[in-house]
């Protein structure tokens, strides 16, 4: 799968991308809102991990743009803390998961497994 990692925290984005590549996927990092939009247009990702706060614009706005630009894309929202209000807003934007950073490998594996099963249907 092509997976977009949109996160202004380069250390976290690198860790997540490395994990995804270790699972056999192509991971592409975008450090800002605009970079994520440009990258999505180039790679047509199957899945996107989107940080709630991105340089250049809010992650929840990016979710809507990604869904419009890449039909069938699945999105995961990431935040530094677990806040119910943010999670509800993320779910309104159609995310398949809302997770807290730093993301644990077992969570990444569970999400990838769900996405693969969903795409197989």
Residue 57 buriedness (CB in 10 A; 0-12 / 13-18 / 19+): middle
Residue 3, both tokens: 């997976």
Q: How far is CA 87 from CA 63, 66, 79, 94, in A?
A: 13, 18, 9, 11
- How many residues does this entry show for the chain? 121
Q: What is the pTM of this model?
A: 0.93
Tens of pLDDT along 60-116?
Answer: 889 889 988 999 999 999 998 778 888 888 888 889 999 999 999 999 999 999 998
pLDDT of residue 113: 92
CATH assignment, 2-120: 3.40.50.2300
Question: What does the domain layout of the chain look like in residue ranges?
Answer: 2-120
């Amino acid at each position: 799968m092509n997976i977009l990692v949109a996160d202004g925290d380069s250390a976290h984005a690198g860790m997540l991308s490395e994990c995804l590549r270790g699972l056999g996927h192509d991971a592409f990092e975008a450090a800002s809102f605009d970079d994520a939009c440009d990258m999505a247009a180039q790679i047509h990702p199957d899945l996107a991990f989107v940080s709630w706060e991105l340089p250049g614009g809010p992650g929840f706005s990016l979710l809507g743009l990604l869904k419009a630009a890449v039909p069938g894309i699945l999105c995961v929202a990431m935040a530094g803390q677990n806040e119910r209000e943010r999670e509800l807003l993320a779910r309104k934007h159609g995310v398949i998961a809302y997770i807290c950073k730093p993301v644990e490998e077992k969570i990444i594996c569970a999400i990838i497994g769900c996405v693969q099963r969903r795409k197989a249907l």
